[in-house]
Amino acid sequence: MQVIILCAGYAVRLYPLTQNTPKPLLPVGNRPMLNYLLDKINELREKSTIHIVTNAKFASHFDFWATEKKHDFDVRIINDGTTSNDNRLGAIGDLDLVIKKCGLQDDLLVLAGDNFFTFDLYQFVQSARSHNPFFSIGLYDVKDKLLAKNYGLVELGQGDKIRSFKEKPETPETTLASTGIYYFPKQVLPLLDQYLREKNSPDAPGYFVQWLIKYSSVFGVILTGSWYDIGDLASYEKVNEWVKNKSV
């Protein structure tokens, strides 16, 4: 299994913090946010290559971070060549770039680089593998329909099969949110290529999920613990407060 971490966004909602620093490398506590994600990957009990896709503006920041990292992983930094929020490739576009540029033909664990969570990543992968050869998404119950409007939301059917996926609906019918944790069995990769050849949106992964459930089974894995989707200053301050309280 290979791991891809999506870190090519420009995080304009966090300006001025992210004008000169990529969001995944912002400090949380006294460490870069990305280091906590590597801690979780270390739970997988298998040495996977980690592909970090970023952009031309911040590639040098990740190159420097990779020389300072404290984990024994093979880390590869991939520059998608974009320079601003206006010409970004989008999460699906970046995923496709890494797969093709690195010639990946394995199962993939794909993670959003601005994710902070305490979920057991090993258990997620084991649950997802039980659904092979089908795609799986990590889900978290935010338990608040007002808050749920900010996320891609899932309705589950029998056997944890996803019945519907809606990207940031105005009137949520569920509070089960996609966490930015995805398991792509290698059998799904040709469908990703088909999705892009059909000129579908290369942006949020949720659009791919909406499309995929028309062609294949897709499963949800409900995760427990704490989760912060760091999209703005308020959520960034919350995760710093959480880490501070845990370290006291």
Domain that holds residue 41: 2-247
pLDDT confidence of residue 248 = 40
pLDDT confidence of residue 69 = 66
pLDDT confidence of residue 232 = 87
pLDDT confidence of residue 73 = 83
Per DSSP, 168 falls in state: S
Q: How much is the pTM?
A: 0.94
Q: Which residue in 115, 94, 120 sits closest to 35, CA to CA?
A: 115
Cα-flanking dihedrals φ and ψ of residue 48, to 5°?
Answer: -105, 150
pLDDT confidence of residue 72 = 76
For each of the chain's 248 residues, which pLDDT tens digit applies?
A: 999 999 999 988 899 999 999 999 999 988 999 999 999 998 887 777 899 999 999 999 999 999 886 677 889 999 999 999 889 999 999 999 999 999 999 999 999 999 999 999 999 999 999 999 999 999 999 999 999 998 999 999 999 999 999 988 899 999 999 999 999 999 999 999 999 999 999 998 889 999 999 999 999 999 999 998 888 899 999 999 999 887 64
Q: Which residue in 211, 4, 187 sits closest to 112, CA to CA?
A: 4
β 218-222/135-141 pair status = parallel
How many domains are there within the chain?
1
The CATH number given to whatever domain includes residue 83 is 3.90.550.10
